[in-house]
A and B are shown apart, each in its own frame.
Chain A
Amino acid sequence: MTIETLFALAACALIGIGIYGLIAQPHPLRKLIAFNIMGSGVFVLFGALAKRGASAGLAADPVPQALLITAIVVAFAATAVTVALLVRLIEVSGTASLSEPAPCPDRRDQ
């Protein structure tokens, strides 16, 4: 087994864990972490592909690395926005539940 195959298998495992978490975990923060695990799986896969694609005599294909950095920044921004939303939700409603709330009397209509 080459090192690239090992990385690809690890990537599959991470993506699988991430998908499971996104489907099964009810808490939004856990969903967000699952998204990050799944994203890391994709990044590992991309890195492994960069190594494999370097048949032109280079140490590694540089394009995936450039794209990866952008993708990581995007995932970081996504995480930050989601955490901000979640913190605000907890501040306003006192709960982090995503399910539709039972109607309460002091609810503002819009």
Chain B
Amino acid sequence: MTADAWTATAGGSLLAAIVLLPFVGMLVGLLLGGRWLYRVALGTMPLGLFLTLVIAARWADAKTSFVYLLGNWAPPLGIALRADGAAVAMLVAVAAIVCAIGLFARADFALKPGTQEARSSFAYWLLLLAIWGALNLVFVSGDLFTLYVALELLTFAGVPLVCLAGTSETLRAALRYMLFALFGSVLYLLGAVMLYGGYGTLDIPLLASAVRPDSMARIALALMTAGLLAKTALFPLHLWLPPAHGGAPAAASAVLSALVIKGSWFLILRLWFDVMPGVVTLPAAQLLAGLGASAIVVGSVVALRQERLKLLVAYSTVAQIGYLFLLFPLAFEGGKLIHGPAMHAGILQAISHATAKAGMFMAAGLVYAGLGHDRLVDLAGAARALPITILAFAISGLALMGVVPSGAYLSKKILLEAAEQSGQWWWTAVLQGGATFTAGYLVLVVGSALRQPVAPLSEVKPVSNLSQWAALALAVSSLVIAFVAIGMENTDLIKNPIAPDELGTTLAVLLGGAVLTLGLARFSLLSEPPESPLRRLTMVPGAILEQFDRWVRRWSSATLLLILLTAAFVGLMRVGTTV
């Protein structure tokens, strides 16, 4: 934040424009309808990308936050839009990903000449633009109430995407998502109301300067954090995510998994770093990262035990959400949260996960479209039938694993350094071990796709080339994102990817992943008999974790855990204080 966060700056109106543009596109598309709708949508996207690039260029020049005052009313009475470095980075990344998703979805949802307009294609483009606009608003909002509205917009646009197919499973998944998200949002609103009651403002810089570590602020922060965790689907609050992300059409899953959950995550980041850096304590941050670590373990193991590719990718999202919370205890310096390398690493992690995961869901959707199913057992021969798709999947997997020079690699390096400096060795272990799990499901999928089919694949439907290349482009951009980010961080962190030690690490991680896959997956990649006693033994922990996951995903367990977590956060924020 700049020294004066309450005066409009030059270029501030760009923020209003980037929020309005998707909604304008949505309304114009709604009016024109039919075959014009996707043209309007696809026309709006590059325009938005261009606008975010202009914002980024101006931000790089000035290096100060943008401020825009709505109607020239200054806070506390008025509402300000603000964009700092993190917001600008997210704006650009989201615009680029939305463009790629739009190109991918053209094959599925663009109206072909001579066909009737289907409700799903009509809804898809409108909802995609709405999600984009809502996300932009989340990134630039300057006060907690506008953030609440933006977050609700995001949920209302995301939920219908889940049930585009209109089957009872997807409707059920959407309803579960909606109800759980509503529980989360009412907790957030309660926290915001309490903060207004205590401090008389919801403007972020005003609140940050007024807030004191008293019980009111602690309870409000705990309520808001827990509510947002429910919307982000951090383990153990992930009950809605696997059916919702696994059941939606690929073009919708990519949006939901890559972008929508990042909105509420970004809001947690805002709350902890910008609103109440003095209220949060290290023990509370340790709990947050501890949940992240359990998400990595449970999500990855359950992902390895899935039988369908899309559910595997959905569970890998559960695991990857965990990574986004590891930064919190590592960003403490001298007992306070600071805007430092760890926070930048978190933003980088979010962006690289968003690109890679969108690419991965697209690839999974293309496999389904091509083969007519996505059962992992019958994936043999897919690599020969759909080479670009499987390549896109493999590259997204490598990027998620953190191979040089992916964004995940750079952010992992920065976090490892922070863990070493602050002496928190246990996070080093989580950061290093997590990659092995990711390697596990990469080996499982790519290994299955590379196998020789027993009978030659007869009916492989052709899939859209544009969609395949969009998936590949996202995967590759995630793999080389470190080069873009390098301007902001220490350049000596990136090494040559084929230097012996880096290559050794990558191979060791892949090997570890292969071992994990052989031990945990439900079917064997090698053709050993499934009943060997060793294999029966290694299946046990996976089966136990799967049962545990099933229990956690029951509605009553998840809601009780949500309340318990709120209480735990209040308690832990009290523990660390010296007063």
Contact = CB atoms under 8 A, between A and B. Distances in A.
Interface of A: 15, 18-19, 22-24, 26, 28, 31-32, 35, 38-39, 42, 45-46, 49, 52-53, 61, 63-64, 67, 70-71, 74, 77-78, 81-82, 85-86, 88-89, 92-93, 98, 100-101, 107-110
A109 B563 CA distance: 35
B178 A49 contact: no
Nearest to B153: A74
Contact of B556 (A23, A70, A108): A23
A67 B563 CA distance: 26
Given A93-B171, A110-B165, A71 B197 contact: no
Interface of B: 76-77, 145, 148-149, 152, 155-156, 159-160, 163, 165-169, 171-172, 174-176, 178-179, 182-183, 185-186, 189-190, 193-194, 196-197, 200, 202, 243, 247, 368, 373, 555-556, 559-560, 563
Contacts of A19: 563
B196 A46 contact: yes
Contacts of B190: 15, 42, 45
Contact of B182 (A35, A108, A109): A35
17 contacts: A15-B190, A23-B556, A23-B559, A23-B560, A23-B563, A42-B190, A45-B194, A46-B196, A46-B197, A61-B200, A67-B145, A67-B202, A74-B148, A74-B149, A74-B152, A85-B159, A86-B175
B193 A42 contact: yes
Contact of A46 (B77, B172, B178, B193): B193
B175 A89 contact: yes
B174 to A, nearest CB: 6
Given A46-B196, A110-B247, A38 B186 contact: yes
Q: Is the interface of B mostly helix, strand, loop or mixed?
A: helix
Nearest to A38: B186
Nearest to A49: B197
A110 B77 CA distance: 50
B193 A45 contact: yes
Contacts of A78: 152, 155-156, 178, 182, 185
Nearest to B249: A110
Closest 6 CB pairs of A and B: A93-B168, A49-B197, A89-B171, A23-B559, A92-B168, A46-B193
Given A22-B559, A70-B145, A109 B373 contact: yes
Given A74-B149, A82-B178, A42 B186 contact: yes
Given A78-B182, A89-B175, A101 B556 contact: no
B211 to A, nearest CB: 16
Given A42-B190, A74-B152, A77-B156, A92 B183 contact: no
Contacts of A28: 175, 179
A18 B556 CA distance: 14
Contacts of A35: 179, 182-183, 186
A60 to B, nearest CB: 13
Given A45-B193, A63-B196, A98-B179, 10 more contacts: A15-B190, A18-B186, A42-B186, A61-B200, A74-B149, A82-B182, A88-B171, A92-B166, A92-B171, A98-B555
Contacts of B185: 78
A89 B368 contact: no
Contacts of A101: 168-169, 172
Contact of B168 (A38, A52, A89, A110): A89
Nearest to B162: A85
B556 A24 contact: yes
A24 B560 CA distance: 10
Contacts of B196: 46, 49, 53, 63-64, 67
A92 B522 CA distance: 33
Nearest to B185: A78
A53 B76 CA distance: 14
A31 B156 CA distance: 17
Contact of A85 (B165, B171, B186): B171
Contacts of B194: 45
Contacts of B156: 77-78, 81
A69 B159 CA distance: 24
A92 B182 contact: no
Contacts of B169: 101, 107
A49 B193 contact: yes
A85 B247 contact: no
A86 to B, nearest CB: 6
Nearest to A18: B186
Given A70-B149, A71-B189, A22 B556 contact: no
